[in-house]
Structure 1
Amino acid sequence: MSAIASEVLISRLADWGVDTVFGIPGDGINGIMEGLRRNADRVKFVLVHHEEAAAFMATAYAKATGRIGVCLATSGPGGIHLANGLYDAKLDHAPVLAITGMQETSVLGTGYQQEVHLDRLYEDVSVYDQMVVNPAQLPALVDIAIRTAYARRGVAHLTVPNDIQVAEAGEQPYQLVAPAKPPATAPVYLPPPVRPRDSDVRVAADVLNAGGRTAILAGIGARGAGRLVEQLAVALDAPIIKTLSGKMVVGDDSPYTTGGIGLLGTGPSEELVEEIDTLVMLGTNFPYTKHLPEPGKVKVVQVEIEPTRAGLRLPTEVPLIGDVGATLEALLPLVTPRAERPLLERYQAKMRDWREKMAALENPERDPIAPQYLASLLDRLATDDAILTCDSGTIATWAARHWHIRGGREFYLSGNLATMAPALPYAIAVQHAYPDRQVIAYPGDGGFAMLMAEFHTAARYHLPIKVVINNNNSLGQILWEQMVLGYPEHGVRFGNPHPDYAAWARGCGGFGVHVTKAGDLETALREAFARPGPALVDVAVDPNEPPMPGKVKYEQAKHFAEAFLRGQPHKASIATTLFKDKIAQLKES
């Protein structure tokens, strides 16, 4: 049997260390599927139920491993379905390769069935985007695509017409008298130097040594440099604020962190931002500028690997272009350690008070179940190397505040895109990458419903993921956003009948249980966590529990009150929930 171009494509992926491809077959990629079959000993194909999930899985695989994530979709609608997950990769700078099918080259431009020019569709989402028109282009295009995805930390895309997929490997169909010779590339990526210039490091040290009240804002770009970040915190008397994506840079049990920032952050972090005169930004492009200091009121030193992002959010005295770890190794010897640490000590006291307030909300006696209690049980029962994948919405608030990074724990969600639905496919991909670790998906009911078919994918591959649904039977985040804007709620509660997600899990061959009473919750979670295969716990939580900001501003409170006066239909139950929260916190104080 002669080798076909798709064999070269898949074999080259394997040469790059790709061991998993997520996707769905279709008539537009039958040749590529044959290439996968012929290379099944080197590359595993994971069959999913929706292409959007395949793109989320590739993104999560890349985020969790640092290696290229690969997804595959057929021509036309299959490729279109990938787009949301690919934008998740783009906005969070994850290296992903999307491979799609295309109609035969002989019919392109004729309005043929499912003729969607995916290379044009992906122009905005991709850092490298090519249609393969000659079998001889492979494997060079694979090399360039993957190398570009790594170098530019984004999405690369190759679309391959049907006739090219099954053509003889290396064939050049349009031979000239002296045909051009394809480049001889190699499946190798060499990262560029990541240490900034010594002169810039010295200037940065001067700025930091002159600072009075300094804070550190650490993002996911500082992952792996947590020890150095803490050393800088001690030297500068600088508390560490963490972005949500950067939650695992340092542990939540670190004595130097004030936790998160923004609507999902902590009160102490918000207060710290208002007090400082110097800010060190490490590996973050935090987009919510209203939660950052006023421009011009602070001196900023920023460490950023991508030059175009340096100084993007705040005027920056010293942009240090480089890797956070390598930069801190160069910077720390030049920093003059503070003799005393009054700022750290004061914010350590504030964080003790904040943690007591959060613990007061984790009340097992509440009915309906407090979502904070659910999140706290996940935190207490999970292993110290567990990986939590989170959806967007109110659950992100509960995870930010009640899921604590300690030991080897990790945390993943859709950061800058903040899309719904990734928690379940993220968990599946991460479990494929780390089969021996505990992986917990933590979606809301709205996000879970969008891609719930992928629980069957987990069952089919015998993946022991645990899915815990924070079910408030509504689009909870939108509900509260409408109220903060001063609008009565509209179109956010699903009502009756309630879907039976536990029955769906059992129908897929997994474990499924629905919990409505707080007293039953711990037993259900323990049973689910002990199961060898996939398990789902659907938890009915209080739909009237607000994800309050760490520090409520006057305008937010004003609009919230106006929404009540305009006829909020659930104002009595919401007021009761808020009253219970306040009583619980007063008991702890």
Structure 2
Amino acid sequence: MNVSEQILQILKDIGVKQIWGVTGDALNTFTDAIRADDAMRWLAVRHEENGAFAACAEAQMTDNLAVCAGTVGPGTLHLINGLYNAKKERVPVLAISGQVAQVNLGTNYFQEVGLTKIFDDVCAYQAVIRSAEEAPRIVLRAIQIALERRAVVRVEIPVDIASQKASGSHYKHPVFRGNATLVPSEADINQIARVLNDSENVTILAGAGCKKAREEVLALSEMLKAPIVHTLRSSDIIHNDDKNVVGLTGLIGNPSGYHAVMKADVLLMLGTDFPYSNFLPENATVIQVDKRVENIGNRIKVDIGLQGNCLATLQKLNQKIVPKENSEFLDGLVSNFQKWKKQKAESSSLENDEEPLHPQLFMSALNRKASQDACFTVDVGESAIWVAHHLTLSGNRRLLGSFNHGSMAVGFPAAMGIQSVNPERQVWAIVGDGAFGMCMNDFITDVRYNWPVKILVYNNSQLGFVKIEMEEAGYAMADEALGLQNPNFAEYAKLCGVDGIRVEHASDIERAIEMAIASPKPFIINAVTNPGELSLPPHITLQEAWGFGKSKVKEILLSVEGDKNQKNNLMDEIKAFFHGSK
């Protein structure tokens, strides 16, 4: 057994079954060891970043270590963006880096890169294996840190070490996983209970830390008559059709979610490091519960901070809450949320068949047709708006994305990561044309492994969310920077050996979704949509309104001067505006 085979055995012992990567000379011994092992497979992506994004999603779905790999300097550098996503999502991922032979280290050798400095910020632990004897000790240490801290770790293997005879078996031991629960003190629980019992208008802001405390959150809300606002990342934990839920706040939120947070006397933040301070109240009493003490007070002045696991905290807290009778604050917000949902349903009706199509039509139809245990991945940008406003994640549906790192091009590779470990589950990637264009080379990887990922590409030939940001800042639409020249993504699917459909008419939307669901192979829906569709945040500041007004004046003047791109942009926006006003 050589060092590479020994490392594979350690990984298999903890349940790892696959490694994402692009091979190269420094990984040849490693991939040869995988070739000879039926219990492990090498998933050969076309770009390492996509492999790292996929590994991140795999770790999220399995709650176990996922592994990706890159060879020497350039290959490993390609991993870094996907690994940052894993770091921000707090999932355990091991990156294996091939390296030049030890004799060449420090000589500016071909493809040599000082990887330790570069990866220092993204990794909770990294080490270079300097001898066969220390290999098992380093790998086991990396695995335990990744699992215990839910973090990214990296192990670097010089090519000459990888092929040496295995040694250091005396360092091998079972991987230990901590099962401790952080339980707050009785005094802390009593303090929070007193404030909640003595307050009138309480709002709960529930984040991803409530994953195992869903029923406790709903029960607390009912006792306090408190509206629940959730984050996008927690929308598959707390659902929009749950009792007392009033939606999201933030840039892609809705008015009832925004007002529930801003008008509360007491804001109870549970398991969330919600980043947008301008969507948090200035005068409310703020209570924050988080097992990561560094998150407490990170975004807003906190009056009471409690370090603890959300489930353990609520199990104790709920016993001390005196049920309230007055539900006026809650009832008004719930009523407004229902009106907002009705308006969104009307705006996404297939009867609104103006062309180019309104993007929300696709998401509303997908919400009706997708299975109740479907997994959805979403990219940043406008696609996230339509998911937030028109997708209900009740039942066993799941939603994954780059919610903390905010990277483009995560949606499709994350869907591959999910499908690779859930081959029978329905998996949808909801992506923009800009994001899919960055990672579509690995669609042929999806085809190769016959993962039946269904991809909905919002094709408006534009970086739509960036356009919104640009106009809010007062700039005229810059077509040379925002415009995209796209292929027919459905024809691209066919070139890769599978199927797809281009949709330009509302009457074809449901049929396209049904075709994708029925297909046992990867499938692309090329959704041609209106680039002028505008979705405003639940609250617009005077500065934002002024900036948007300036941008429109500039665009009108440029249009009058003969700029056809500006004229077309304004016409698309007018179509979308009158549709939204119906």
Same fold (TM over 0.5): yes
Long gaps (5+) in structure 1: 172-180
Task: Name 1:499's counterpart in structure 2.
Answer: 487
| Alignment partner of 1:41 out of 38, 43, 54 | 38
Residue 132 of structure 1 aligns with which residue? Answer: 129
Partners of 1:311 and 1:566 lie apart in 2 by: 41
User: 1:16-57: per-residue Cα shift (whole Å, max 9, x none)?
Assistant: 11122111111121122123223x332222111100001101
TM (norm. structure 1) is 0.94
Give 2:82's aligned residue.
Answer: 85
Partner SS, residue 401 of structure 1: helix
The residue number in structure 1 matching 2:149 is: 152
Q: Secondary structure at the match of 2:507?
A: helix
> RMSD of the TM alignment (CA)?
1.8
Q: Are 2:299 and 1:300 aligned? A: no
Deviation at 1:583, TM superposition (A): 4.8
The gaps in structure 2 that reach 5 residues or longer are 560-564
1:327 maps to 313
> Quick one: distance in 1 between partners of 2:153 and 2:543?
43
Q: Please list the CA deviations of residues 145-167 of structure 1 after superposition, one character each: whole Å capped at 9, or x if unmatched.
A: 12111222221111111011111
Question: Matches of 1:343 and 1:146 in 2, distance apart?
Answer: 48
Q: Distance in 2 between matches of 1:113 and 1:347?
A: 63
For residues 489 and 306 of structure 2, the distance between their equivalents in structure 1, rounded to whole angstroms, comes to 49
Query: How big is the shift at 1:240?
Result: 0.8
C-alpha separation in 2, matches of 1:391 and 1:101: 30
Q: Within 5 A, what are the aligned runs for 1:258-407?
A: 258-294=246-282, 297-364=283-350, 365-407=353-395
Alignment partner of 2:252: what SS? coil
Residue 11 in structure 1 maps to residue 9 in structure 2: yes
Q: Take 1:196 and 1:149, find their aligned partners in 2: how far apart are those partners? A: 25
Is the 1:244–1:261 contact (alpha carbons within 8 Å) kept by the matching residues of 2?
no
Corresponding residue for residue 178 of structure 1: none
Query: Which residue matches 1:241?
Result: 229
Equivalent of 1:204, from 185, 192, 208?
192
Mean Cα deviation higher: 439-448 or 220-229: 220-229
Which among 472, 475, 485 is matched to residue 487 of structure 1?
Answer: 475
Deviation, structure 1 residue 312: 1.3
> 1:582, 1:161 → 2: CA distance?
59
Which whole-Å CA distance do the structure 2 matches of 1:151 and 1:217 have between them? 27
Identify which of 140, 143, 166 aligns with 1:169.
166
Corresponding residue to 2:101 among 101, 104, 126: 104
**1:478 and 1:492 in contact (8 A); partners too:** no
Aligned-partner Cα distance in 2 for 1:268–1:585: 19
d(CA) in 2 for partners of 1:103, 1:444: 38
Shift of 1:582: 5.5
| Contact 1:464–1:531 (Cα < 8 Å) also in 2 | yes
Q: In the alignment, which residue of structure 1 is the partner of 2:430?
A: 442
Whether the aligned pair in 2 keeps the contact of 1:357 and 1:585 (CA below 8 Å) is: no
Q: Secondary structure at the match of 1:549?
A: coil
Q: What's the CA shift for 1:495?
A: 5.2
Give secondary structure in 2 for the equivalent of 1:258: coil
Partner of 2:140: 143
8 Å CA contact 2:534–2:576 kept in 1: the answer is: no
What is the SS of the residue equivalent to 1:29? helix
Match of 1:189 in 2: 177
Moved more, 468-477 or 317-326: 317-326
* 2:50–2:439 contact (8 Å) kept in structure 1: yes
Residue 280 of structure 1 aligns to a residue in which SS?
strand
User: In the alignment, which residue of structure 2 is the partner of 1:177?
Assistant: none
Residues in 1 aligned to 2:196 and 2:3: alpha-carbon distance in whole angstroms = 56
Query: Does the 8 A contact of 1:214 with 1:238 survive in 2?
Result: yes
| Paired AA for residue 494 in structure 2 | R
Contact map agreement 1:237 1:338 (CA 8 A) in 2: yes
Corresponding residue for 1:118?
115
One-letter amino acid of the counterpart of residue 298, structure 2:
L
Identify which range, 277-286 or 518-527, moves more after superposition: 518-527
Which of these residues, 54, 57, 63, is aligned with residue 60 of structure 1? 57
Residue 440 of structure 2 is matched in structure 1 by 452
Question: 1:556 matched to which residue of 2?
Answer: 544
- Equivalences for 1:426-575 in 2 at 5 Å? 426-490=414-478, 491-494=480-483, 496=485, 498-567=486-555, 569=559
2:108 is paired with a residue whose SS is coil
Q: Within 1, Cα distance between the matches of 2:88 and 2:484?
A: 34
Name the CA distance, whole Å, in 2 between partners of 1:401 and 1:245: 14
How far the C-alpha of 1:519 sits from its partner, in A, is 1.8
User: What is the CA–CA distance in structure 1 between the aligned matches of 2:228 and 2:77, rounded to whole Å?
Assistant: 41
TM-aligned CA distance change 1:582 to 1:255, over 3 Å? farther
Aligned length: 572
Hey, what does 1:176 align to over in structure 2? Answer: none
Q: Please report how far the alpha carbon of residue 575 of structure 1 lies from its aligned counterpart in structure 2 after TM superposition.
A: 5.4
Separation of aligned partners in 2, 1:211 and 1:579: 46
**Contact in 2 for aligned 1:224/1:325 (Cα 8 Å):** yes
* Preserved contact between residue 434 and residue 484 of structure 2 (Cα < 8 Å): no
1:395–1:470 Cα contact (<8 Å) kept:
yes
CA contact (8 A) 2:531 2:572 kept: no
Alpha-carbon separation, structure 1, partners of 2:509 and 2:26 = 47
CA distance in 1, matches of 2:383, 2:286: 32
Which residue number in structure 1 is paired with residue 562 of structure 2?
Answer: none
- Counterparts of 1:203 and 1:323, CA distance in 2: 17
Give the Cα separation in 1 of the matches to 2:515 and 2:181.
Answer: 49
Instruction: Tell me the SS of whatever aligns to 1:451.
Output: helix
SS at match of 2:25: coil
